[in-house]
Each structure stands twice: as structure tokens, then as C-alpha cells.
Amino acid sequence: GSTFAYQLAFAGGHAVTVIARPDSPRLRQLQRDGAIVRDDGTRAPVTVADRLDTATPYDLVIVTVPAQQVDTLIPALRDSAAARILFMVNQFDPERLRDAIGPARCDFGMPFVQASLDADGRLHAVIGAGGQKSKLSAQRWADVFNAAGLPAVLEPDMLRWLRCHAPLCVAFEAVSVAGMRRGGGASWGEAAVLARGVQACFALIVSGGDQLYPAGKRRLY
């Protein structure tokens, strides 16, 4: 979220409001700085809030919380006067979010950036490493992201892409955590368990009558 806010404000020239959790360290950092501050000291001034003002007619609200925290935001998003809601959240069942908000106002994406905040709230971000591009369900937002230095591409079947990518996200993140805890790589046993889990998740998708997408995931299965 901080990476998107920085790029859209600094490089894209947009008026950006960032929302951080009430009483959180991140909120206090943002209120202190009045900006997203990168680790090289560059600043992107932003408006800071601790909740979504449902009366403000934002052009776009970008949701970047983890999937398990999205449900708490649905009432405010549904009541929001924003023109569009963009979920940049990997979800196994994105249709549920689309139906909760309304298809006419809802877009989806998958961010491909690597970013972290230091103890002082300064942002370190790597964007577009290895040619990676964030995927978006609407060309309009892909154009906005690209103009702000956030490489992005249209994904015409974004909902299926997200559902089929969720099992890989779980596996990649779980194996990374295991390796970090050990101070090295994950064990073969841990990798095998996760591989079987991905296969089982893919089988669940297929048994539900859907297709694995894109073709690379079918080959992996």
C-alpha cells in the first residue's frame, strides 16, 4: 500500500489519501511525516486518515490488506461514495467480494512489488524486478499504474487468475517462513508437504468445475 501511495503521488502526480489502522505505529509514523518517505529520504506528501470517509467521492480506493482482513472493510467499502474499488488482494473466492460491493464498481489486481518498512517507517521498495508487472482487471488502471512507474498489465481473466494463484501464494509464503525460521532453506520434507498441498488445492479447483489458469499452472498440476 505504501509503495502504491508513494508512486501514485510522487511520480503520478495524484492526490492520495492513505488510511492506516487506528492507533497503529504506522498511523503515527504517517501523521508525523505527512508523507510516504523512502529510505533515500525522498518524500511523497499524502493526506493521512485512520478510516475511510464514506462521503468522499474518491476516483479509486485501493484495498491492500491481507485477504483474511478484507471482510472487516466490506461495510465501509459498500457505503463509500468512491467511483471504483480496486482489490489488490490475492483471494481464492474474489467473486464474493465482487458481489458484496457490486460488479459495476469493483476491480481486481495482483501486486508484484517487493517492499518493506524500517522501524522508522521509511519505505524500501523494489518495483518491476525481473520484468514482473502487477496484473489488473481494467486497462484504465493499468494505464494509471504504468504512468506512475508501477509496471502493470491487463489480465482479462483476473478472477480465475487470482483463484488459481492463491494456492501458490500460500505455499511460497509458508516455505519462506520455514526457511527464515531455520536461517536457511526449507527442508525437503516441508517442500514436499507444500507441494502436495498445492496439488490438492488445484484438484479442488478442477473438481469444482473450473479450469486451472493460465496454462503454466495446468502444467504444474
Number of helices and strands (H, E) in the chain? 8, 11
* Residue position matching grid coordinates 512507474: 149
**3-state DSSP assignment of residue 83:** coil
Q: Tens digit of pLDDT for each residue in 10-37?
A: 999 999 999 999 999 999 999 999 999 9
Does position 191 have pLDDT exceeding 90, yes or no? Answer: no
Does position 2 have pLDDT exceeding 90, yes or no? Answer: yes
Query: Does residue 126 contact residue 111 with C-beta atoms inside 8 Å?
Result: no
User: In this prediction, what percent of the chain has a pLDDT beyond 90?
Assistant: 82
Q: How many CB atoms lie within 10 A of CB 3?
A: 22
Residue 176: DSSP 8-state: H
pTM for the structure as a whole: 0.92
Q: Please report, for residues 10, 135, 199, 200, 221, the alpha-carbon distance to residue 171 in angstroms, rounded to integers and kept in the order given.
A: 34, 20, 11, 12, 14
Q: Tens digit of pLDDT for each residue in 87-127?
A: 999 999 999 999 999 999 999 999 999 999 999 999 999 99
Residue 147 has a pLDDT of: 98
* Closest to 10 measured CA to CA, from 34, 41, 44: 44
Quote the crossing angle between the two packed helices 188-207 and 158-182, to the nearest 10°.
160
Choice among 14-18, 37-41, 167-171 with the minimum mean pLDDT: 167-171
Q: Please report, for residues 42, 61, 69, 210, the alpha-carbon distance to residue 105 in angstroms, rounded to integers and kept in the order given.
A: 34, 10, 20, 25
Cell of 82: 468512491
Burial 86-124 (b: 16+ CB within 10 A, else e): bbbbbbbebeebbeebeeebbbbbbbbbeeebeeebbbe
User: In this prediction, what percent of the chain has a pLDDT beyond 70?
Assistant: 100
Q: Rounded to whole angstroms, how far apart are CA atoms 139 and 115? A: 24
Q: Please report, for residues 39, 78, 113, 167, 175, the alpha-carbon distance to residue 104 in angstroms, rounded to integers and kept in the order given.
A: 38, 12, 27, 28, 38
* Closest to 148 measured CA to CA, from 120, 125, 130: 125
Contacting residues for 171 by C-beta, under 8 A, at least 6 apart: 194, 195, 197, 198
Q: Rounded to whole angstroms, how far apart are CA atoms 83 and 51? A: 17
